[in-house]
């Protein structure tokens, strides 16, 4: 499949709102999402049925954009595309170097972003296996990740920071998730907060796990302590009487 043919095919499967951005793929700007390699990765995933059409953006950021899409079976999925030009190269290296699962890290920005996407897919798999509620990973190619969509036909599930929820239930979910990650998946999230937890009805879903590190990573203890502090600080503001030492004990025991 030639690049021009891939562009034409993908364009035919995009909603009008997404197509406007897609048509700018030839602009060489730091804000571009659909560069040449991303187009070919999306086409690869489309040709294998993981993506049939892309509906609308769920979230946009400096490092990644997430879109709601539909697969060839008609099921809604989420498609996360990591930006090559604007991804935080230094942060990615910090979280990957020292992780025994990812050795021989390249100094090439593009290859590092590909590895970062692969790392998120691997982390999701490990968390699912440990019983942590996260989006189920479906497929991954280069800087494009396909996973379970969390939401309904009209809109994605809101972030915890924007939602009304049972505070005690939310706290219990986070502490339980951290414990399952630590004990069973051998991972530390490293950036857990109200900004990366979705409220899906009466339940919660942990998202954005690319930075999660293996317990053998030299910074894992420091990152776990930071997670515990952030969780305690947030839920104290929500009115709960929580203790950092108690949270740490529940996570590790």
Which sequence positions are flagged as catalytic? 191, 208
Cα–Cα dist 59/61, whole Å: 7
Length of the chain: 253
Under a CB-based contact definition with an 8 Å cutoff, are residues 177 and 206 in contact?
A: yes
- Structure tokens, 193: 């907060």
Can you read off the two tokens belonging to residue 250? Answer: 């529940």
What whole-number distance in Å separates Cα of residue 177 and Cα of residue 171?
10
- DSSP conformation letters of 102-142: S-S--S-HHHHHHHHHHHHHHHHHHHHHTT---PPEEEEET
Task: For 152, list phi and psi in degrees, rounded to 5.
Answer: -120, -170
Q: How many helices (H) and strands (E) does the chain have?
A: 8, 9
Cα 195 to Cα 227: distance, rounded to the nearest angstrom: 13
Beta pairing class for 53-60 and 203-206: unpaired
Radius of gyration, CA atoms only, the chain: 19
């Amino acid at each position: 499949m030639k690049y021009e043919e891939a562009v034409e095919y993908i364009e035919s499967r995009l909603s009008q709102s997404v197509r406007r951005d897609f048509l700018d793929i030839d602009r060489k700007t730091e804000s571009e999402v659909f560069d040449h390699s991303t187009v070919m990765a999306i086409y690869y995933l489309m040709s294998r049925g993981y993506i049939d059409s892309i509906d609308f953006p769920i979230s946009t950021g400096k490092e990644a954009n997430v879109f709601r899409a539909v697969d060839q079976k008609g099921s809604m999925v989420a498609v996360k595309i990591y930006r090559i030009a604007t991804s935080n190269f230094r942060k990615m290296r910090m979280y990957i170097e020292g992780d025994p699962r990812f050795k021989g890290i390249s100094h090439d920005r593009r290859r590092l972003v590909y590895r970062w996407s692969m790392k998120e897919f691997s982390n999701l798999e490990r968390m699912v296996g440990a019983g942590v509620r996260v989006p189920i990973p479906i497929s991954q190619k280069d800087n494009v990740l396909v996973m379970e969509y969390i939401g309904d036909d009209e809109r994605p599930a809101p972030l915890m920071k924007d939602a009304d929820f049972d505070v005690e239930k939310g706290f219990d979910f986070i502490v339980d998730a951290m414990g399952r990650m630590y004990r069973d998946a051998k991972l530390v999230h490293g950036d857990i907060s109200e900004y990366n937890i979705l409220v899906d009805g009466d339940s919660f879903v942990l998202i954005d796990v690319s930075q999660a590190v293996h317990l053998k990573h030299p910074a894992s203890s420091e990152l776990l302590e930071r997670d515990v502090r952030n969780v305690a600080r947030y839920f104290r503001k929500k009115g709960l009487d929580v203790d950092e030492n108690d949270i740490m004990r529940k996570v590790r025991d």
